[in-house]
Amino acid sequence: MKRCDMALGYLLSIFLILGAGHAQINIDSNEQFHEELVIRPLAGDHVNTYFQFTTRWHYGENESLFHTQLTPRVIAELLQQFDVKELHIGLTQGLWRYETWGYPVVETTGGAEMWAWFNGPNLTDQEVNRQWTQLANVFSGVLCASLNFVDQTNSIAPKYLLRPQFMSGGGDENQSKFIRYSSLPREIVCTENLTPWKKLLPCGSASGFASLLNSAYVHNTKFHSLGLTVRTLCEHPENCVLELTQTANLVYDLRLLEQSTGDFSLRRLFGMGLNGYCELAGSSQIYVQLNEQGQRYQLVPEPTKEIKTTRGGHTVIYGVYDMQKQFEGQGERLFNIAWVTPKGDRKQRLGGGQHQFLIPPPLNVHRYLLGQGQERGRIATELTNNHYEPLPILLQELIPWYVHAYLHTLRIRSRNLQRHEYTNSKKDLPFQVLHYAPGKQRELPTHLEIAFELPPNSAALITIEVDYLLLKWLEYPPDANHGHYIGSAILSTLLPIARNYTAIPIDGHLFEHSFNATRPSYVLSLHTEALIVSLPTPDFSMPYNVICLACTVVALAFGPIHSVATKLIIVERQSAAPKNFLKKIIFKLTKRKSNSQQQQQQTEEDKAIGGTETDIDPTDQRES
Amino acid sequence: MDAKSFKLLLLGGAVRLYFSRTPLASLIGDRVEFATPLNSYKRMQEGVFLLEHDIDPYSGDLVHESPLVLKGLSWIFLNYASYLPLLYILLDLLTAGLLWIMSHWFVKHKLQEQRLERKHYANDTEELQYHNEDNYDIPELVLMAYLFNPLTIMSCIGLTSTVFSNIFLALFFFALVKGYLLPCLILLAFESVRSFYPIVLISPLLLVFARRSYWRGFCIGLLFAAACIAIMAANYLVMNSWNFLDGTLGFIFYFRDLQPNIGLFWYFFTEMFEHFRAMFLITFQLNATVLYLVPLSIKLRKEPLLLATVLVALMSVFRAYPSLGDVGFYLALMPMWKRCWKYMAHGFVVFAFFLISLSMMGALWHLWIYAGSANANFYFGATLAFCTGQIFLITDLLFAQVKRQFCLYNGQKIMIDGEEARIILE
């Protein structure tokens, strides 16, 4: 127990240590640009291609922030207008399969996701909220995404999970830092996002690796994710580096390519070969994974260099193509790399046999919805730890306001991987850290962060009960019965080993910085699937009818009570009213006309029997 | 209370205990007809849980119970959660007992009043007057109507906090009949701060305690306001923030949660055009509170208890989050007006309305939410019919009372020229 507490504390504090420590600031020229492409064959006939474009801009004192060469102007203006120190935006379509594909280099969730750190003198919570919505609007325009829907109703301030990766530098360390996080799981990522995203690059899509990103091919993939990360690293306020990282992470299903044989090449993946490198780039490298799933291919042409990297006891061999050398002193041509299965292996591959035994990553996660009907349900998140050591887990849930979550129903049940049944309630895993901000309809989402220890070789099932709300009829999206989305949960842990782990360390900025980057532990963050819940829907066609009917029922009470309170009791001749139904109606109608006449008659009758017309309460008369 | 009443109480307790141990209990606890956002057990649990973890329950949208109740119950919720049904049953039995004593005293008062008035009564009105045997008959009917009404039983086993509302209201009625001014005021203030609508009961209270003196009425009004403020201050001391006001009273008034219930609000405000929302909200809240208050207070100034009954009934029809437990409570008060029953013309209609709409509700809810083969209109129709039935019952009672008063003094058979006459309202 003590050890896991320590591990947890370590998890919480590690980012702070890293953030304060290692960032390297040694820049020769003011601005640098690097392009990298990583191609990794994955299990099950999939190929992961990861593009990373890194722009670093060292802006010192007395330098105009509007004068940039490689950095897009809009990013430079960020620093002028907002107190943003770190910004992450991800636009993703598809689901990353952790079990078979391992962990991706950058983590994103389906739809749009955005988070930012704010830090500056005299910042208040309201000011941050204002800047946050403005920032979302700016990038809504820059990326043509619906980020303008980011507002207070779907933003939270994560407390533990997301740690700062920027350095504010100087004496303002004790300034409070603010964070905002939001996700729009319904956002559909499409061509219109790719084109403006490419425009942020120094070479645009004219040359360099970005020329490979053609929308027709990118959007045919099983998974594609565009990312944009900005962070500032300051030693002191006058000596800063602005780092802009643009990433494109794609997963191709080889079986879906035309004339699928299991072989592939750059041309087949992207529609064309590489036309060169971006002339503004400091380096243009292609890394191709040679071992593991890459073993089954032969590369044409062979890589110029091989790099063997050992990280956390896990060895990966990359073949490197330096584009600037490839295109040295030659005329125009297209560069292509082909992955070809050696002749002898082909039969075996087509027979469906797996080349290598698949080692699942140490931790993976799934989420699903339990229960039926449109009234209530349970959100279940299932974590599996294949490792032989316990793992500290931090989990963050952002539950939108149209779903009510009951915190007291939160349970973490565990089971050993050999068993299929979860333990009963008495053996629930206790959570060590709990941060909860309850949601409010139409105002705030529910924000939940928990931390607990996941025992070795076991699975944990986290469930929380939710109610689905009935909304106002105009609050439903156009296709109301499509359902409403609940964004994915984010999960963070510290892995002791780096199996399947490819993320770039926090103190580096290029993919090559992850080579041989052995650390005491590796921060891993995972996203679960997003959920879709179907809320009860009203009938959209009949607002008038409902208003009329409800008001009628109110009138049903108002009428009689009004007459009881205002009318007098009078006595009337029995024979005056006809017995026949039709005649009754006629009598009622004619009565109005001859009202005066009748009243006269009435008074005469009253006289005759000595005043039968009385107030209902004779005691009143006595009192008066 | 006599032995028979105790036996009935025991039997009522046994019935509740039996059903609270069946799966029916959790089913009822989840039904929208019984558990509204205001009174559901699940939300109470959530509130207690949040309080225990030092999270302000009212910063969210789940908890709308008053802080005093929440704090008072949290100890039991945390330590003796398995005995909770027992507590709710005991409170419900206490409510029944209080109603018995209250109606017993009510009949006693009525008999005294009649003795003074008898010489003004017409000759053939024996059956309209209270009799000596009513001293035990009526309390017993009240007791049975509370103990064995399926609505109150289910509301109790579903652990809805309507049980608390009911006992506070019963205590209020009891204090009203007995003439205890201060308990009456405090109970009413407490219940008003808790669920807003009972504030209308200030009118019968004034009619009882400030009959002929405006000065006295003014003082009682001031006292009531002071009691309300004191209870809010006590709530504030528990929470150390004023958030609870918006979480309880604000939540009721602004009708933020559109979860379906048996009332008129939910579908109306789901389908409401946004720019009319404020107007209709105010209209509907006025309708549930002050609209009928003044005319009925003037009309029924001689019968404060009938006024209280009718107001409680109207409240449970027109309030923002009504539940069937509220309906069960005012139905139990009906036997007190046993001598009006002769003139209640819609008994069968009301009974049919109740029976059919209540049984349709479950079916239509299932069709809408689970089977997906019906839509919200179906359920709305059932709730509309149920409200109509209740309104028929209330107006019927009012008409019957008016007629009874008239006939008590003028005889049941009025002859005009040797011919039997009709009594009508003009």
- pLDDT (tens digit per residue) in A259-270: 767 788 888 888
pLDDT digits (tens, 9 = 90+) for A518-567: 888 889 999 999 999 999 999 998 889 999 999 999 999 999 999 999 98
pLDDT digits (tens, 9 = 90+) for A64-103: 667 778 888 888 888 788 889 899 999 999 999 988 888 9
Percentage of chain A modeled with pLDDT above 90: 37
Please give the Cα distance from A129 to A132 (Å, whole number): 5
**Average pLDDT for chain A:** 82
The reported pTM is 0.87
ipTM of the complex: 0.93
pLDDT of residue A174: 60
Over range A152-164, report the average pLDDT: 91
**Average pLDDT for chain B:** 92
pLDDT at B417 over 70: yes
Q: pLDDT category, A332, cuts 50, 70, 90? A: low
Question: Chain-centre distance of CA A269, in angstroms?
Answer: 28
Indicate yes or no: CB of B50 within 8 angstroms of CB of A566.
no
pLDDT at B77 over 80: yes
Among A335-344, B88-97, B168-177, B416-425, which stretch is predicted with the lowest mean pLDDT? B416-425
Indicate yes or no: CB of B264 within 8 angstroms of CB of A558.
no
Label residue A361 left, alpha or beta by phi (over 0 means left) and psi (-120 to 50 means alpha).
Answer: beta
Nearest alpha-carbon partner for A132 in A156, A111, A108: A156
Contact residues for A39 (Cβ-Cβ < 8 A; gap 6+): A47, A48, A49, A50, A286, A287, A288, A289, A337
Task: Return the structure tokens found at B426.
Answer: 């003009």
Percentage of chain B modeled with pLDDT above 70: 100
pLDDT digits (tens, 9 = 90+) for A405-414: 999 999 999 8
CB pairs A-B closer than 8 Å: 213
pLDDT at A366 over 50: yes
pLDDT of residue B345: 87
| Amino acid making up residue A591 | K
β-bridge partners, A474: none
Residue-by-residue DSSP string for B312-331: HHHHHHHSSS--HHHHHHHH
Nearest-by-Cβ selection for B256 from A375, A441, A536: A441
Minimal Cα–Cα distance from A40 to chain B, Å?
Answer: 46
Give A-chain residues touching B367 at CB under 8 angstroms. Answer: none
B45 → chain A, closest CA residue: A408
Among A117-131, A389-403, A573-587, B300-314, which stretch is predicted with the lowest mean pLDDT? A573-587
Over range B354-375, report the average pLDDT: 93
- Show the DSSP H helices in B53-83 as ranges: 67-79
Query: Both ends of chain A: CA-CA distance in Å?
Result: 85
Over range B52-65, report the average pLDDT: 91
The number of CA neighbours under 13 Å toward the Cβ of B400 is 21
Task: Return the structure tokens found at A6.
Answer: 């320590």
Q: Is A410 exposed, middle or buried (0-12, 13-18, 19+ CB in 10 A)?
A: buried
Measured from the Cβ of residue A159, the count of other Cβ atoms closer than 10 Å reads: 16
pLDDT of residue B204: 94
Q: Are A300 and A324 contacting, i.e. CB atoms less than 8 angstroms apart?
A: no
> Which of the following CATH numbers is that of domain A363-533: 2.60.40.740, 3.40.190.10, 3.40.50.2000, 3.40.50.2300?
2.60.40.740
A608 in reach of chain B (CB within 8 A): yes
Measured from the Cβ of residue A386, the count of other Cβ atoms closer than 10 Å reads: 18
A568 in reach of chain B (CB within 8 A): yes
Over range B385-399, report the average pLDDT: 95
The domain locations on chain A are 363-533, 541-567, 571-624
Which residue out of A448, A471, A571 would a mutagenesis test of the B interface target, given it has the greatest number of B Cβ atoms within 10 Å? Answer: A571
What is residue A582's three-state secondary structure?
helix
Give B-chain residues touching A473 at CB under 8 angstroms. Answer: 270-271
pLDDT at A464 over 70: yes
Interface of A with B in 383-442 (CB under 8 A): 401, 404, 406-408, 434, 436-442
pLDDT digits (tens, 9 = 90+) for B312-348: 999 999 999 999 999 999 999 999 999 999 889 889 9
Minimal Cα–Cα distance from A450 to chain B, Å?
Answer: 13
pLDDT digits (tens, 9 = 90+) for B107-164: 999 999 999 988 888 888 888 888 888 888 999 999 999 999 999 999 999 999 999 9
Give A-chain residues touching B373 at CB under 8 angstroms. Answer: none
- Show the DSSP H helices in A321-429 as ranges: 323-326, 343-350
Indicate yes or no: CB of A573 within 8 angstroms of CB of B314.
no
